[in-house]
Amino acid sequence: MRIGIGNQFLNQLRRRLSHPTACLPERRITWKYASCTQQQASSSSNLRQIIFSGIQPTGIPHLGNYFGALQQWVKIQDGATSTTDLFFSIVDLHAMTLPYDQAGLRLQKRQTLAALLAVGLDPERSTIFFQSAVPAHTELMWILSCTASVGYLSRMTQWKSKLAMSDSIALSDPDAKAKLKLGLFSYPVLQSADILLYRATHVPVGHDQAQHLEFARENVKNFNAAHGQFFTEPQTVMSPAKRVMSLKDPRVKMSKSHEDPRSRILLNDSPEMIQMKIKAALTDSIDGLYYHPEQRPGVSNLLMLMSYMDACQRSVEQIAAEGQALSMRAFKEEVAETLIKGMAELKERYDYFMDDAQSQYLRDVAAKGDEKARLKAEETMVLVREIVGIDGL
């Protein structure tokens, strides 16, 4: 009965939101990269597929975020059939697990939403929403916490890396006891709730997030063992291995946590900024060009970046072979020029959505996505509350 009411609300919402949206600049970005296989995105043409993924609002995405996740989201969206529901969340509650600036978080949420629209996510096709706008995320987290394993959580590496601790450190260690907060320790349970709340069948993740999806499946098993078969274990959609490394320390991934801002290229960097960062990128003094991440991590990273953005879709080997006569300076200039051309439309769209004139449009997109997510979440929670015995008297 309650699910029927939820569907009625959803139909009402669709009617309310059927008015024309604001005029957008023409989306001219050409997605020339290989997409996920249909096998990954759909295990059966007869079943409705639900895809969920999230991104923390850490501000303007860099090229590592773009090639590692956001570009893939757009490919999944553009290749999805009408039997696929898409949920992409800005997971702002996860951004609270370490000390943060409140005003900065508000700005970063806006920047992240603008970036999702800039890369090509369509709010008419995908549900784009803020995690904190859907209270059911934390409600389901608590319910899952009641059957989640502390031992499993203690072995996970994310809280250790966030606190710059060894992977072998134990919860009983005095340093861990002093620094570790409950939010950081338990946030994988919230991640599980994020996924299960929408009954996701498939979750696109990078290699560094595979452990968290395994934990989500563990939570499914624990919940079902305690309350009966309900949740289905989500499948992994592994993103192609497009790892972008730091420009200043090319043996580690590009990250906003690096102290040197020249280590990363942001989606809204100006041509002058891109040229400066590529010019300052760490390389080596070996003659010639060839791709070898172990021997030449800096050069290999630049070759990979150039290949990702190359208009002719050349491989790193082709680029290296054609650039053998180039000095390192000349090679860096070509890399910078390729990135400037390849990122021009991304930057144009991002700047458009961040303009003050688009503030109301961003709020409208968020409000629409938040409400759609709340309605979908409530359909799940009506059943969960009944299963665990808190649905009333």
Tell me if residue 382 falls in helix, strand or coil.
Answer: helix
Backbone angles phi, psi at 368, to 5 degrees: -65, -45
From the candidates 32, 256, 279, 332, give the one annotated as an active-site residue. 256
From the candidates 162, 179, 181, 279, give the one annotated as an active-site residue. 162
Q: Is residue 256 annotated as a catalytic residue, yes or no?
A: yes
Q: Is residue 347 annotated as a catalytic residue, yes or no?
A: no
Give CA separation, 103 vs 100, 106, 259, 356, 357, in Å: 9, 5, 21, 17, 20
Distance CA 192, CA 272 (A): 42
From the candidates 32, 253, 277, 372, give the one annotated as an active-site residue. 253
Q: Is residue 253 annotated as a catalytic residue, yes or no?
A: yes
Distance CA 47, CA 111 (A): 35
3-12 own/partner pairs: CB under 8 Å, 24+ apart: 3/379, 3/382, 3/383, 6/375, 6/378, 6/379, 6/382, 9/375, 10/372, 10/375
List active site positions. 162, 253, 256
